[in-house]
């Protein structure tokens, strides 16, 4: 029998990406936090719990000693909707195996990895469940398995789910572990869970494997935010649920009172938070209960921070695909939901919410409070060439009728055991690969680019962009938040710092921006030429004729309104 008080435990975070749960840096998912809380609740002292991310292990091989020497090594990971990531690289199956081989103590693997593992982390693949040489695989909730395993003296556990009381306790007791994350404190965003499970049964989705929705009551989520903010977390995303609007209701219909308690409670315990975003809103909820949904969306837009995105799982605008895959929303219904979110959440700080949606010259230069995002999934049953045309037509209609989308996510299906898609597998996705590629390019060029210009016109200020990497003489960074815009700033700036920027130009899914405010008396040639209308000879003249007393003094003729983001510092300070 192993005494929990003497137990040393190492948690390794290989990252997760699930339909309604994200945990690739700068995000930290709920898994390591709940697991650490379950360990403490079972009697393991906090100081004996070590937490590493897989990137942390890659960066410093000495850390593998903690994997080797721990009495209990817990691996958390699994990608059920893999994408491309800037902030971290998820653990590949071979690395996970190496963890199991390295661990001298007991090894346990949990998280969405229980749904299956492909040959690599990629879409259009089939998966199967593997133990990757671990002693134990948690087929229920990993945090419950960890608690029971420690209680049993490392003998074993039943595969069970945790209950609401447990998760409320564990979420708070495990908050301390965030301090061991390499991104702590400034560049870390905590994913918050408000519910699991879904009332619907889309063919490809792993969320229904959690059953019907069960909600965490507002005080337990608010208590967790309180604990996390005590440990220095300032950025939060309410992303672990299938539908934020259904929160605290009967499973399908909205309950605005519960949403109000949740959002106002969070603002009360974390008044200095810098990011409060969400993920996942089901468009069918908005269409079925429009008035209650409008109220819920207003509550969210009042409490959140700008740039928030309500991701809609339209998946396909083709009725044939919709029918064959049990998708719950039609293109027409989704369009209606897009309209309603635009009307209630599409306002910008500094203007009246009733003006929404706003864009164009008169709109304040900040991102809108809450806009819809659209998820499209390819390779589903019944997919045909026409499916691609219908999806394009849907997106074009949203643009043409004057609404905004914050992002369009297009991916190919991954077929998991236990979902309806497992029979079809990756066959259709593979057959349509060429078509998929062509269409994706078309969406990027014809929709994403003009839409981005509508959402974030030149002069839009993006505060607190974290500078992450250099490429071809440009520094790239992002704000912390849900689906943040990729921002390219001319020149190679020191990485790891945070700056305010103003948008000057648009790519397909990224923007070019200059530091905000841009001082005409100090701006570099690269920064000046990034502004549309300023070529290298004008930029050269600007530099030669410095200093200026005012922007007007420079007499520049640009299509972009420079007064919104360009300034001249007092002459005595400029040099
Ligand atoms: S609505 Fe469909 S895709 Fe969304 S969580 Fe539920 S089952 Fe999954």
User: Ligand 1 centroid to 334 CA: how many Å?
Assistant: 14
Q: In 3D, which of 182, 219, 236, 224 has the Cα closest to residue 63? A: 182
Give the pLDDT confidence score for residue 81 in this predicted structure. 60
Residue 556, C-beta contacts closer than 8 angstroms, at least 6 positions apart: 533, 534, 538, 542, 562
Angstrom distance (rounded) from CA 236 to CA 185: 12
pLDDT above 50 (res 574): no
In this structure, which residue's CA is closest to atom 5 in ligand 1?
Answer: 242
178-187, 418-427, 471-480: least confident range: 418-427
Which of 354, 345, 307, 271 is CA-nearest to residue 461?
Answer: 307
Q: How far apart are CA 57 and CA 561, in angstroms?
A: 48
- Torsions phi, psi for 457 (to 5 deg): -65, 165
pLDDT of 60 over the 50 cut: yes
In a domain, 252, yes or no: no
CATH number at residue 58: 3.40.50
Residue nearest to atom 8 of ligand 1 (CA): 205
The reply to whether 15 falls in a domain is yes
**Is residue 145 packed enough to be buried (19+ CB in 10 Å), middle (13-18) or exposed (0-12)?**
buried
* Average pLDDT over every residue of 279-291: 96
Q: Is the CB of 213 under 6 A from ligand 1?
A: no
CATH label of the domain that carries residue 495: 1.10.150.320
350 falls within a domain: no
Q: Can you tell me the distance from the alpha carbon of 391 to that of 317, in angstroms, rounded to the nearest whole number?
A: 5
Instruction: Between 104 and 412, name the one with better pLDDT.
Output: 104
Q: What is the pLDDT of residue 180?
A: 98
* Residue-averaged pLDDT of the chain: 92
CA of 300 to the centre of ligand 1 (A): 21
Mapping DSSP to helix (H, G, I), strand (E, B) and coil, where does residue 323 land?
helix
Burial 489-520 (b: 16+ CB within 10 A, else e): bbeeeeeeeebebbbbbbebebbbbbbbbbbb
Ligand 1, closest atom to CA 201?
Answer: 7
CA distance 484 to 506: 14
DSSP classification of residue 447? I
CA distance 520 to 496: 25
- Count how many domains the chain has: 2
418 DSSP 8-state letter: T
Please tell me the predicted confidence (pLDDT) of residue 338.
98
Q: Which of 80, 199, 200 to mutate to test the pocket of ligand 1 (most atoms within 8 A of CB)?
A: 200
pLDDT higher than 70, residue 572: no
Q: Indicate if ligand 1 lies below 6 Å from the C-beta of 325.
A: no
pLDDT at 83: 67
Give, in order, the Cα–Cα distances in Å from 417 to each of 113, 115, 125, 375, 496. Answer: 12, 7, 12, 22, 41
| 413 pocket-lining for ligand 1 (C-beta < 6 Å) | no
Band of pLDDT at residue 575, cut at 50, 70 and 90 = very low
Mean pLDDT (whole number) for 142-156: 96
75 and 43 Cβ atoms separated by less than 8 Å: no
Domain end among 128, 161, 187:
187
Q: Does the pLDDT at position 121 exceed 90?
A: no
Distance CA(196)–CA(194), nearest Å, equals: 7
Rounded distance from Cα 214 to ligand 1 centre (Å): 14
CA distances from 153 to 150, 156, 214, 472 (A): 5, 8, 31, 55
Q: Give yes or no for residue 428 having a pLDDT over 90.
A: no
User: What pLDDT does residue 80 have?
Assistant: 67
Select from 167, 187, 207 the last residue of a domain. 187
Determine the residue of 202, 206, 209, 213 to mutate for testing ligand 1's pocket, defined as the one with the most ligand atoms within 8 A of the Cβ atom. 202
CA 229 vs CA 51, 262, 303: distances in Å: 19, 16, 17
Indicate whether residue 198 lines ligand 1 (CB < 6 A).
yes
Residue pair 424/378 in contact (Cβ under 8 Å)? The answer is no
Q: What average pLDDT does range 84-110 have in this prediction?
A: 92
- The confidence score (pLDDT) of residue 129 equals 57
User: Is the CB of 282 within 6 Å of ligand 1?
Assistant: yes
Can you give the residue range of the structural domain that contains 103? 1-187
Query: Does ligand 1 lie within 6 Å of residue 460's CB atom?
Result: no
- The pLDDT value recorded for residue 335 is 98
Distance 205 CA to ligand 1 centre (A): 6
What is the pTM for the complete model shown? 0.92
pLDDT at 432: 86
Q: Is the pLDDT of residue 425 over 90?
A: no
| Selection from 220, 279, 265 nearest residue 27 by Cα | 279
State which of 168, 187, 206 marks the end of a domain: 187
Two tokens, residue 504 = 């000057």
* Nearest atom in ligand 1 to 20's CA: 5
Sign, CA dihedral 196-201-205-210, equals positive
Q: What are phi and psi of 339, to 5 degrees?
A: -60, -45
What atom of ligand 1 comes closest to residue 199's alpha carbon? 6
CA of 207 to the centre of ligand 1 (A): 6
Confirm or reject: Cβ of 207 under 6 Å from ligand 1: yes
Provide the token pair at 346: 């599409």
Q: Is the pLDDT of residue 2 over 90?
A: no
In a domain, 258, yes or no: no
pLDDT in tens, 213-265: 889 999 999 999 999 999 999 999 999 999 999 999 998 999 999 999 999 99
- Confidence at residue 550, expressed as pLDDT on a 0 to 100 scale: 92
**C-alpha separations of 10 from 46, 107, 182, 223, 479 in Å:** 11, 10, 15, 26, 31
CA distance 61 to 67: 10
Residue 182 lies in a domain: yes
Ligand 1: which residue has its CA nearest to atom 4?
242
Q: Where do the DSSP E strands lie in 114-263?
A: 136-137, 189-193, 195-196, 214-215, 235-240
Which element (helix H / strand E) includes 499?
strand 498-506
Whether 265 is in a domain gets the answer no
């Amino acid at each position: 029998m192993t005494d929990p008080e003497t137990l040393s435990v190492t948690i390794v975070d290989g990252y997760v990406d699930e339909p309604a749960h994200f945990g690739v840096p700068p995000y930290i998912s709920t898994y390591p936090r709940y697991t650490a809380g379950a360990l403490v609740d079972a009697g393991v002292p906090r100081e004996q719990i070590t937490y590493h991310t897989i990137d942390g292990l890659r960066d410093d091989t000495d850390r593998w000693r903690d994997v080797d020497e721990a009495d209990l090594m817990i691996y958390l990971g699994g990608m059920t909707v893999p994408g491309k990531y800037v902030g971290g690289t998820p653990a590949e199956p071979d690395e996970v195996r190496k963890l199991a081989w390295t661990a001298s103590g007991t090894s346990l693997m949990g998280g969405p990895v229980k749904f299956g593992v492909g040959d690599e982390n990629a879409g259009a693949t089939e998966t199967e469940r593997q133990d990757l040489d671990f002693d134990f695989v948690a087929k229920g909730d990993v945090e419950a398995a960890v608690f029971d395993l420690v209680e049993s003296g490392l003998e074993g556990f039943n595969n069970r789910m945790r209950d609401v009381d447990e998760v409320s306790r564990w979420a708070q007791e495990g908050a301390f572990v965030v301090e061991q994350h390499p991104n702590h404190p400034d560049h870390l965003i905590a994913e918050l869970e408000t519910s699991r499970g879904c009332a619907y049964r889309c063919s490809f989705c792993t969320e229904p494997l959690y059953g019907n929705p069960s909600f965490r009551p507002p005080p337990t989520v608010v208590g967790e935010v309180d604990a996390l903010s005590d440990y220095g977390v300032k950025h939060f995303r309410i992303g672990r649920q299938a539908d934020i609007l259904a929160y605290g209701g009967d499973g399908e219909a909205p309950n605005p009172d519960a949403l109000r308690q949740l959002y106002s409670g969070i603002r009360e315990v974390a008044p200095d938070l810098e990011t409060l975003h969400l993920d996942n809103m089901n468009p069918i909820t908005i269409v079925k209960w429009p008035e209650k949904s409008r109220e819920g969306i207003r509550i969210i837009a009042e409490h959140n921070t700008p740039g928030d995105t309500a991701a809609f799982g339209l998946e396909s605008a083709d009725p044939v695909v919709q029918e064959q895959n049990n998708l719950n929303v039609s293109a027409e219904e989704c369009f209606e939901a897009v309209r309603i979110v635009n009307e209630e959440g599409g306002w910008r700080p500094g203007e009246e919410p009733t003006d929404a949606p706003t864009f164009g010259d008169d709109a304040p230069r900040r991102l809108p409070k809450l806009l819809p995002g659209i998820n499209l999934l390819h390779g589903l049953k019944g997919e045909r060439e026409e499916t691609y045309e219908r999806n394009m037509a849907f997106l074009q209609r949203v643009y043409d009728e004057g609404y905004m989308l914050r992002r369009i996510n297009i991916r190919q299906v991954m077929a998991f055991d236990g979902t309806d898609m497992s029979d079809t597998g990756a066959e259709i996705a593979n057959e349509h690969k060429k078509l998929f590629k062509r269409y994706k390019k078309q969406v990027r060029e014809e929709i994403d680019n003009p839409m981005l210009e509508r959402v974030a016109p030149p002069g839009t200020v993006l505060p607190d962009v974290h500078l992450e990497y250099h490429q071809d003489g440009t520094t790239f960074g992002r704000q912390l938040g849900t689906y943040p815009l990729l921002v390219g700033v001319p020149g190679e700036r020191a990485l790891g710092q945070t700056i305010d920027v103003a948008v000057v130009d648009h790519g397909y899914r990224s923007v070019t921006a200059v530091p905000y405010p841009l001082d005409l008396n100090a701006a570099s040639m690269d920064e000046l030429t990034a502004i549309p209308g300023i070529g290298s000879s004008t930029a050269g003249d600007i530099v030669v004729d410095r200093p200026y007393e005012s922007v007007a003094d420079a007499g520049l003729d640009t299509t972009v309104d420079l007064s919104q983001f360009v300034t001249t510092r007092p002459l005595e300070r400029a040099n």
